[in-house]
Amino acid sequence: RSAARCGTLLKAREDNGSGLPPSTPAMNGLYSAVLASPLAAGAYADLALPLGGQFYFLALSCAAVYLGAERSVRQPPPRSLSFEQTLAAPLLASASLFGFYLVLQYTDLDLRAFLRAYFGLVALACVSGALTEPARSLAPGDLGEPDRVVDLPRWLLKDGEGEQVSLEYAPSDLGALALALALVAYSSAHPSDWALANVVTVSVAAELMSVISLGSFGASAALLGGLLIYDAFWVYASPAVVGANVMVTVATSEQFNGPTKLLFPSAHPEVMPFSILGAGDVVVPGLLLCLLRRFDQSRENAARARREEERRARAAGRKGAGGGGRLAGIAAAFGWGREAEAEVEAEAENEDEGEGGEPSLFAAGLAAYAAGEVITVLVNVTTGAPQPALVFLVPCCLGTALAAAAVSGRTDALLSYRDPTESGDVSA
């Protein structure tokens, strides 16, 4: 099912139900900046700035969240996780983490070949999906038009209902796929190239956030709360319970050289060669922020629809005010109906220009995420010990979202909001 969902990333996204273009110049520029970041990352690391790695992490993680959120409203609605799945996620994550720890500590099993193949396939699907829209927008002529179709064999790929998957693609998609393959292959063969590995990680994180929905604010709060406990236990409590920091042991293992973390050369290489920000610390709060972005968009769409209905009603009323019969003919002859239409259109333009809209919960949440990362860094520097970032990120993001909704009078709307379904239904 995950493979089928990733496969839909190659479909045309113009008909996405949101009324938004599949990409914007700002998104394409940010993608270009992320792709070019390895060119500057090495020089930035050589400067050895105080807390340089943390600023680098902050920039990349915020870029991933922004791209994931914008993509999530510019493509078909993502499939929502059920409430039961969100509750089970922390337990499954704990079982997987501890299982990998036991393998690392008590067996000679080398998982590198398996994990490299698994992470390589996931990264290829996500990176190619991330590069598809920028490539289409930059392609000349018809090379960016998704006017070609290929039917995949059922034994290879099926959708969530078990039906055959048909992919619509543009010639430029093949270039995006080739570039993604080169990036992923080189990154897998050269795990020491941390800057390029971070490009792959950002692409994977952004793509996962764009195709996964938590469905509602309540489900998001349940998942983030559960993963906060998971993160805190395996960092703070596992040394006392197990005898070692399970999270740090697994995260720093050479067997896990995949798109699971962001890396930056450590200021204290004698202790640890790299500073690490787990991809989960980007994706987990990012899923909540993507939901806030879709909530903002649903409110904007509903307000736009109401304004359009009001304009039509005013236009109809002004046309009817001219009367019927001979008076209507005279009005038409002198162009009074057209003047009424022009007047309504001018009013509409003025309304759109003066319409500030509601404050964005997504913008508030993204600012809170950045603040949470800063707090994590300060605690890390103060204590000199690894910190579970979700302990600080989750309260910042959840608390800010609720506070911003309360201040703007949208608490009930946020708590009752349900993400769009695949049929396009939206609850605003």
- How much is the pLDDT for 424? 39
Q: What is the mean pLDDT of residues 412-428?
A: 69
- How much is the pLDDT for 23? 73
- How much is the pLDDT for 404? 95
Most confident option among 2-16, 78-92, 150-164, 232-246: 232-246
- How much is the pLDDT for 395? 96
- How much is the pLDDT for 11? 42
**Least confident stretch, 1-10, 191-200, 235-244:** 1-10
pLDDT digits (tens, 9 = 90+) for 57-81: 889 999 999 999 998 888 777 778 8
pLDDT digits (tens, 9 = 90+) for 380-389: 888 878 889 9
- How much is the pLDDT for 160? 62
Predicted confidence (pLDDT) at residue 13 exceeds the cutoff of 50? no
380 touches 424 (CB < 8 A): no
Kindly indicate the confidence band of residue 15, based on its pLDDT and cuts at 50, 70 and 90. Answer: very low
Please give the structure tokens belonging to residue 286: 């990012």
Kindly indicate the confidence band of residue 427, based on its pLDDT and cuts at 50, 70 and 90. Answer: very low
Q: What is the mean pLDDT of residues 125-146?
A: 85
- How much is the pLDDT for 12? 37
pLDDT digits (tens, 9 = 90+) for 151-162: 777 766 666 666
Q: 3-state secondary structure string, the chain?
A: CHHHHHHHHHCCCCCCCCCCCCCCHHHHHHHHHHHHHHHHHHHHHHCCCCCHHHHHHHHHHHHHHHHHHHHHCCCCCCEECCHHHHHHHHHHHHHHHHHHHHHHHHCCCCCHHHHHHHHHHHHHHHHHHHHHHHHHHHCCHHHHCCCEEEECCCCCCECCCCCECEEEECHHHHHHHHHHHHHHHHHHHCCCCHHHHHHHHHHHHHHHHHHEECCEHHHHHHHHHHHHHHHHHHHHHHHHHCCCCHHHHHHCCHHHCCCCEEEEECCCCCCCCEEEEECHHHHHHHHHHHHHHHHHHHHHHHHHHHHHHHHHHHHHHHHHCCCCHHHHHHHHHCCHHHHHHHHHHHHHHHHHHHCCCCCCHHHHHHHHHHHHHHHHHHHHHHHCCCCCCHHHHHHHHHHHHHHHHHHCCCHHHHHHCECCCCCCCCEC
**Least confident stretch, 137-141, 191-195, 252-256, 349-353:** 349-353
Most confident option among 208-217, 224-233, 322-331: 224-233
Integer-rounded Cα radius of gyration of the chain: 25
pTM: 0.82
Kindly indicate the confidence band of residue 201, based on its pLDDT and cuts at 50, 70 and 90. Answer: very high
- How much is the pLDDT for 141? 81
Predicted confidence (pLDDT) at residue 426 exceeds the cutoff of 60? no
pLDDT digits (tens, 9 = 90+) for 339-378: 555 555 555 455 444 445 688 999 999 999 999 999 998 8
Q: What is the mean pLDDT of residues 395-406?
A: 96
| 58 or 24, which is more confident | 58
Q: Please state the φ and ψ torsions of residue 109, each to the nearest 5 degrees.
A: -65, 130
Partnered with residue 116 across adjacent β-strands are: none
Give the separation between CA 256 and CA 242, rounded to whole angstroms: 21
- How much is the pLDDT for 4? 45
CB atoms inside a 10 Å sphere around CB 416:
12
Predicted confidence (pLDDT) at residue 336 exceeds the cutoff of 80? no
Kindly indicate the confidence band of residue 319, based on its pLDDT and cuts at 50, 70 and 90. Answer: low
- What's the mean per-residue pLDDT of the chain? 81
